[in-house]
Structure 1
Amino acid sequence: MMDHYHHTEGLKTVRGTRKAIKFGLHIVTWNVGTAAPPDDITCLLQSESATQETDMYVIGLQELNSKVSSFLVDMVFDDPWTLCFTKILAPLGYVKISSIRLQGLLLLVYIKFMHLPFIRDLRSSYTRTGLFGYWGNKGGVASRLSVYGHLLCFLNCHLPAHLHNSSQRLGSFQRILDALQFSSDTATSMLDHDLLFWFGDLNFRIADHGLHFIRESIIKNRFHLLWDKDQLNKARTVEPVLRGFLEGPLLFKPTYKFNLDSTDYDTSEKRRKPAWTDRILWRMKERCQDGESESQGSDAKKPITVTLNIYDSQMEYGVSDHKPVVGTFCLELEKRVIQPLVELQPQGKWVPGLDGVISYCVADDYPSSLWDWIGLYKFGFRTPQDYVTYLWVKDDQLAVHEDVYEVYLSGEDIPQAGGEFVLCYYSSNIDSIVGVSSLFQIVPECAENPLEMDTRTEMRCAPACGDSDTC
């Protein structure tokens, strides 16, 4: 019994001081032109070539196929693009926590599973700007969430097209900022968040320069000759609605307009001028204390710092007349949330046919509910609803040591095939996962040596602290 208590006491997290962690963010924006996904999108996600581990993927698509028949099917089942991204990311340990669709606009958010207990206050919203605000072919979709205590917001937009509509694009963006609200006690509007990422087919063009000059500048990689005529660059210096928005240098070819399945710019009769229509920008919340301006307080340590690592297009994809754009960032966050609301772990060996023992403890301020449940998930699960089985926490819990409790999962529900699994505690009141165990092995009945652990499990097994620097 002493050994058992010693093991369960390990659930109790020692409360530490706040510290900064590095959080890898990968954003994709792509106008897919109603096309189906290509056969291979691994390069788009850069999962193999990334210089640092990615903690979150955010994917914004525009112009999905929104024909009535396709749209209705996609409302019931995941659309082909969501299925395509999930098929790649889930086996790598990323869970889809948010998906919002507005006709042709889609925004997806995936998070590394060990961070789930530190993701809170998840909300999504949208607004239409097409056809006097009644049609959703243009507009914005947004998801926001608290990450280790910091409110991040991601806004995917599709703004009006054509060279002469620069002012209309700015007006549409202003309407999106004004109209798109979250039902929350904190940060109801876009600009209230600690960090806002704005991306999509923003449709800003290169003004004044002729087609020949633009194409020659691109061929000779003299992109800097086009920057001062880029409508978005010009607007950021004078338009109040764009105050504070930052963007990386445009060191890649303009991403519009291409012949399909080609790296050649438009050769049709219209011969559209190339443009950087597809962009990724970000904005930090302005913080003024004791009457100081933002500039006066610039020496103070910021709770979030943003480092842009990659800002580039992906020219190898040709299913659309746009090329996708990727932005990878390192967010350095002050860790305001230092422990999950619930800590849980499996106890002993788990074998099919034998009851599995789960120990857990909850934080003092955790709002528990009779409807809380613990799910058993196979590694590579796609969403919080993608559990193998679950149990209601309050039905059979036993107090075993101070504030440590135990519940039992019936051996009949433990998968016969075995494999790598994780336990997640789902809060009914918070409507999200608030605790995640380390990865563990269920030994199949046919295993010759049930004591032998898969070395891959040991390598990938991580505490539920979500600190990629120390775990």
Structure 2
Amino acid sequence: MDNLRLYLATYNVGTSNPEQRLQDLLSITNQKGEKYPDFYVIGLQEVKSQPQNMLMDTLFDDAWTIALRNILDHKGYVKLKSIRLQGLLLSVFTLKKHLLNIREIESEYTRTGLAGMWGNKGAVSIRLSIYGCSLCFVNSHLSAHDNQLKDRIEDYNSIIKDQDFHVEETSKIFYHDYVFWMGDLNFRLLEDFERSSEEIERMIQKKDLQRLLEQDQLKYVMKKGEAFSEFTEKDPDFPPTFKFDVGSNSYDHKRRPAWCDRILYCVNSYNYENVTLKVDQLSYKHHPSYMLSDHKPVSADFNIKVFSDYSEHVVQFDRVISWEESADNKAYYKITKDIPPTKDDWIGLFKEDFSSLDDYVTYEYVSKCSTPTEERSLASLERPQKYEVTIPDVPSRCRGNYCLVYFSQSEDKVMSVLGISDPFPIIKTESD
């Protein structure tokens, strides 16, 4: 087994824009020799979601995702996927070196607001497989207010029941090897803990956090088996992350302080014979320097076990010398493992330094642009079949180095990266 390091962060941004530097949210110090995680998984709540913003965000990344990409791009990360449900946003970034071993990327969402009709509350999730293990990440925003504990329990159980994935072995959240759940879960202190906001703040100042945690609604429902009982959470050793006066580190006494913002995990340790899957939590902390909303962000660092000898490289591109802009161009590839192609497989043209799987310049479906280069004979059956692919009409704006990326995609939008070519230049046509 080998280790993968995952960094998760959750932040209720209160419709604010990313006006503070986000390096601290990502725990990036820029010190020499700093080691970065294999994955960043960022869950946000209350991202600005007026109709005009929602339209733009379906076409382009929102301001928060752009700010995160601007940082992580320089560290060698690629955005695998984002999913948005009104104010809920979940993004998964991976080091580029892992792309060819990531499979079956899929997202889901569940509305729980207004009895399931409105997405102001609910959950978004992204699942994937890597090095032989399946992972599911959930970002949720549950019902608010001290007295809505029953609604939060119902929200959780609705999400668990509602979410269905199209990868047969992991069609439900808890069928995955590893599950990580984060968000503004909105659990408060128990109603019968009759302390005012001011009294609770004095306990916080005295660092009497353990006594407060004994009154935490989330811990209470986990023990009773009503919600989140499948999960593990390290006890927060940081102060409650809600509710603050915006722009300050002072509690707003209109609400009692509470640990609304949480990160939990679940591991199915014995899914495989002779192997024990494991999660080691390396950190769990808040980020008090952020004052953009009435919440403080929370992050957690984990190591998980995956199969060290697991390799998924399937499509190998031949070296491309160069392509010409505004022309039809060809490339060649072979499939090194027996995989069933789908009618929705496609090949995208990307800039060499692409930072998102959404950033293709142009694309073609394999069924339309790819043909075998030779008839299969008995003498050639042992060799991988080679294919010729034609990408027509490369846009004239393309200059510099590019690469080809082969995607397998099912009718249900489950996506895998099967191959990436070496970089090659696109040059002006001679007529130019």
Give the TM-score normalised by structure 2: 0.82
In structure 1, C-alpha distance between the alignment counterparts of 2:408 and 2:107, rounded to whole Å? 19
In structure 1, C-alpha distance between the alignment counterparts of 2:108 and 2:243, rounded to whole Å? 30
Shift in Å, 1:312: 0.9
Shift in Å, 1:169: 1.2
State the AA in 1 paired with 2:407: Y
Look up the match of 1:319.
292
Cα distance change of structure 1 residues 288 and 316 upon mapping to structure 2, 3 Å threshold: closer
Match of 1:167 among 119, 130, 150: 150
Shift in Å, 1:408: 8.1
Match of 1:425 among 373, 387, 406: 406
1:128 equivalenced with 2:114 (yes/no) = no
In structure 2, C-alpha distance between the alignment counterparts of 1:312 and 1:206, rounded to whole Å? 19
Look up the match of 2:237.
251
Percent same amino acid at aligned positions? Answer: 35
Cα distance change of structure 1 residues 282 and 118 upon mapping to structure 2, 3 Å threshold: same
RMSD: 3.4
Cα distance change of structure 1 residues 142 and 407 upon mapping to structure 2, 3 Å threshold: same
Give the TM-score normalised by structure 1: 0.76
In structure 1, C-alpha distance between the alignment counterparts of 2:27 and 2:318, rounded to whole Å? 32
1:170 alignment partner, SS class: helix
Q: Deviations over 1:334-370 (max 9, x none)?
A: 24742312233536x6597999996643233122468
State the AA in 2 paired with 1:129: T
Look up the match of 1:77.
60
Q: Deviations over 1:175-228 (max 9, x none)?
A: 111122223322222111111111100111123144344212322333223221
Structure 2: gaps spanning 5 or more residues = none
In structure 1, C-alpha distance between the alignment counterparts of 2:237 and 2:353, rounded to whole Å? 36
Instruction: Report if aligned partners of 1:345, 1:423 keep a CA contact under 8 Å in 2.
Output: no
Cα distance change of structure 1 residues 390 and 225 upon mapping to structure 2, 3 Å threshold: same
Q: Deviations over 1:55-104 (max 9, x none)?
A: 21211111122223322332333322222222322343322222221111
Cα distance change of structure 1 residues 129 and 389 upon mapping to structure 2, 3 Å threshold: closer
Q: Deviations over 1:123-159 (max 9, x none)?
A: 2111111122212111111111112222211111111
Which structure 2 residues correspond to residues 4-153 of structure 1 after superposition, within 5 A? 20-48=1-29, 52-153=35-136
Instruction: Report if aligned partners of 2:43, 2:182 keep a CA contact under 8 Å in 1.
Output: yes
Match of 2:275 among 301, 309, 312: 301
Cα distance change of structure 1 residues 329 and 217 upon mapping to structure 2, 3 Å threshold: same
In structure 1, C-alpha distance between the alignment counterparts of 2:161 and 2:323, rounded to whole Å? 55
Which structure 2 residues correspond to residues 278-297 of structure 1 after superposition, within 5 A? 278-285=261-268, 287=270
Shift in Å, 1:47: 3.6
In structure 1, C-alpha distance between the alignment counterparts of 2:350 and 2:163, rounded to whole Å? 35
In structure 2, C-alpha distance between the alignment counterparts of 1:274 and 1:156, rounded to whole Å? 22
Instruction: Report if aligned partners of 2:221, 2:227 keep a CA contact under 8 Å in 1.
Output: no
Look up the match of 1:329.
302
Instruction: Report if aligned partners of 2:106, 2:126 keep a CA contact under 8 Å in 1.
Output: yes
In structure 2, C-alpha distance between the alignment counterparts of 1:371 and 1:395, rounded to whole Å? 15
Alignment coverage as a number of residue pairs: 410
Structure 1: gaps spanning 5 or more residues = 1-19, 290-296, 446-471
Instruction: Report if aligned partners of 2:77, 2:95 keep a CA contact under 8 Å in 1.
Output: yes
Cα distance change of structure 1 residues 350 and 398 upon mapping to structure 2, 3 Å threshold: farther
